[in-house]
Chain A
Amino acid sequence: MKLKKIGALVLAGTMILSSLTACSQKTAEESSSGDAATTTTEEATTSSDGTLTTDNITITMMYSGTATENDFETQVLPKLVQEAFPNITLEVTKLPDDQYYTALKTKLASGEAPDIILLQPKYAGANSIISLAQAGYLEPLTELKAVELGGEAARESYRYGNDVYGIGSGATMLGTYYNKDMFEANGLSVPTNWDEFLNCCQVLQDAGIQPIVMGDKDMYVMQFGLYQIAANQVYADNAAFDDQLRTGETKFTDEGTWDKVLEMYKTLYDKGYIQNSSLGIGAQQAIQKFVDGEAAMTFDGSFNAAAIQASGTVEFERGYFPLPGNDAGEDLYASVAIGGGPGIYSGSKHIDEAKAILELWFDGESDIWKAYVDAGNIVATYGYGSDQVNPLFQTFVDLYNEGKSFYWCNQGWPAGTESEMEALFSEAIGGQGTTVSDIVEGMQLKFQELYTE
């Protein structure tokens, strides 16, 4: 007993000692991390000579998401990388969104960030390319072939200044999943404008069917419906709305823009088309209710297609259409965005090797790319897989190719604006007396507080 304790004491002592001796390096460390932004751009020109190490190395990668069976990132990718680069071991960890943001931020603060990290386009989320590139944490990838392949939209989503810092590889979309059997039974077809959509809801409601189920306890799901309407009501008229928000030319409070979007979406709650207990159930539970045939529709993203198609208590055929937020006689726009993609940490010791992995992964024809596309989480826009679109997504891809689509609005706003919108909107539907004009004012205030440039 005594020996054990002394052992523990020694351990504690050495830990403290080692921490103290390292204290002296503090100042040097700090100054070097301060101008990380300037050094990385210099490195970029020198480190692209393409010679890879032949030593055995481990590259770490952190992604957000849930590890499923035969998961692409955590299981398939490391295996394929090992086959292509026998001396490289890829260690992939996956964390749920919120945990991912926290972990990424603290890892960057401690200087031990993974070599490859998941980024979000533009301003979206705490791992947005712009905030990370601004702080000098990202390695420019402009000259990679994979970036070339991704196309202009993908490059635009991952650009900061003159450089591209992340690889956008596929499109993801927001839409309306519907129960085809219920629609047929009630003689309904896919609506093409807002009035038709409201009519659909009314017919279903009259037939005693809950038209739409949403899990607003997870407030982010409000974006799924709102952004689809906004694509039609705000961005179809003014594609540069978000850019002008930053210059102050437009405001959320401008009449006929976001107030209209929120008003339209709120109608669905006022009329009971979306179930009135929505604030008490989670996103997960809402999907379940749809799958169990308890509601005819739900707004969700293409990323949840697998869960939506899982079998429930009743069997029925699922369909997917863009929520028609357009007025009668106007064109329909969809909400389609370049999804998250990998970037490389500028402090990584293995930048060239990490680049080589990304090149192979996103070349459009390698085994890695094929496995990635076959995993079904993205809709490929080039190379293998781009010619065989899931029929569920066909309408969206067509609109995307016609240029009738807009990215998800939060990609254009500093992170936090959308959560203010969600919080205020749930006050409005929760009977707290919050009006639409309160919401847009709140959004505008939050935007101005968060946007600093």
Chain B
Amino acid sequence: MAFFKKKTDREVEKYEKLSPSILAVYIILILFCIIIVAPLVIVVSSSLREASNMKSPLILFSQLTLSSYITAFNQMNYPMQFLNSFMTTGGSVLIVVCIATMAAYPITRIKRPFSKGLYYFFIAGLVIPAQMVIVPVAQMFGRLNIPNTRFTPMIMFITCSLPFSTFLYAGFMKSVPIEIEESAYLDGASLWTRFTRIVFPLLKPATVSTIITQGLWIWNDYFFPMVFISKSSQYSLPVGMIQFLGDRENPAQWNVLFAACVLCALPLIIIFAVLQKQFINGIAAGAVKG
């Protein structure tokens, strides 16, 4: 903790002085942020309206009420669906991190054509979108008699995350020097010890990146839960949200949709805002110098 504090102190000292060029950077950054955030302002302002207030969403903050949020919260059964989302996302990311690092380990370390082949085999999986194979995948689920539960989509979350994660880990693992492992080998460390004690900790930046990128898409994905879950009490937040989307014969109630969207993204925003220092520090701390 003390070390952590010291580090931030040092960082404060190192802020660049306010020169004209730095000022220009600030102005550009602020303008940039406005452009980036503007569409999201529409979301927030519309979500603060009554569900029946169908005036153009571009009339900003014309009404301030939480009634849309209450409707969305109740209809989504938010606590339940939040828990479902949380469990499936957390579980999937955990498993992905474990088995993807394990897969990347031999692929980068054993210098053989077979490793190269495996590497490209995984990357090939990256290029196939889920919509393309969903019917055969569903048939596979039928054949294996996998029942529809809240955890069923996890199988596909993990499978679809594997190519990317393996690709990322393999890329980062190249930069972990072999020499460290060689000396550990001479000290008599087993493969498993080397992997868990030396290689895995050194991959922290990759792990953080994997958790962020994969956690994000899994949290936001509605496709697999929609297809592999039959009961609304087992749905995750994004599936709860698309129920407000509307279609040909049912216009969207976009006030409620936007409220649902904010509710769905809120945990992510909080996590990212609170942990971003740790995320970035994690990336920095594990970075291999030189």
| A contacts B directly (C-beta below 8 A) | yes
Residues of A that sit less than 8 Å from B by CB? 2, 4-5, 8-9, 11-12, 15, 18-19, 22-23, 25-26, 29-30, 33, 58, 60, 62, 64-69, 74, 91-100, 102-103, 105-107, 109-112, 114, 172, 218, 220, 283-284, 287-288, 291-292, 301, 303-304, 307, 310-313
Q: Let me know if B66 is at the binding interface, CB within 8 A.
A: no
Q: Let me know if B209 is at the binding interface, CB within 8 A.
A: no
- List chain A residues, Cβ under 8 A from B155: 15
Q: Which of B108-116, B168-176, B245-253 forms part of the interface with chain A?
A: B245-253
Contact B54 A312 (CB under 8 A): yes
Compute how far the CA of A25 lies from the CA of B232 in the bound complex, rounded to whole angstroms: 29
Q: Let me know if B63 is at the binding interface, CB within 8 A.
A: no
Contact B251 A12 (CB under 8 A): no
Contact A110 B142 (CB under 8 A): yes
Q: Let me know if B138 is at the binding interface, CB within 8 A.
A: yes
Q: How far in angstroms is the closest Cβ of chain B from A155? A: 22
Contact A110 B141 (CB under 8 A): yes
Interface pairs (14), CB distance under 8 Å = A9-B98, A15-B155, A66-B243, A67-B75, A67-B244, A93-B235, A95-B243, A97-B248, A106-B138, A112-B141, A220-B248, A283-B251, A284-B254, A303-B249
Compute how far the CA of A242 lies from the CA of B245 in the bound complex, rounded to whole angstroms: 33
Q: How far in angstroms is the closest Cβ of chain B from A451? A: 22
- List chain A residues, Cβ under 8 A from B138: 106-107, 109-110
Q: Let me know if B10 is at the binding interface, CB within 8 A.
A: no
A100's nearest neighbour on chain B, judged by CB, is B247
Contact A106 B134 (CB under 8 A): yes
Q: How far in angstroms is the closest Cβ of chain B from A150? A: 19
Q: How far in angstroms is the closest Cβ of chain A from B243? A: 5
Among B51, B55, B134, which residue has its beta carbon within 8 angstroms of that of A313? B55
Compute how far the CA of A98 lies from the CA of B248 in the bound complex, rounded to whole angstroms: 9
- List chain B residues, Cβ under 8 A from A284: 246, 251-252, 254
Q: Let me know if B190 is at the binding interface, CB within 8 A.
A: no
Among B54, B145, B232, which residue has its beta carbon within 8 angstroms of that of A291? B54
Q: How far in angstroms is the closest Cβ of chain A from B249? A: 4
Compute how far the CA of A8 lies from the CA of B231 in the bound complex, rounded to whole angstroms: 26
- List chain A residues, Cβ under 8 A from B228: 110
- List chain A residues, Cβ under 8 A from B252: 66, 284
Contacts A19-B146, A60-B230: A96 and B242 contacting too (C-beta < 8 A)? Answer: yes
- List chain B residues, Cβ under 8 A from A311: 52, 54
- List chain B residues, Cβ under 8 A from A105: 135
B143's nearest neighbour on chain A, judged by CB, is A26
A60's nearest neighbour on chain B, judged by CB, is B230
- List chain A residues, Cβ under 8 A from B247: 64-66, 96-98, 100
Compute how far the CA of A352 lies from the CA of B155 in the bound complex, rounded to whole angstroms: 34
Contact B232 A96 (CB under 8 A): no
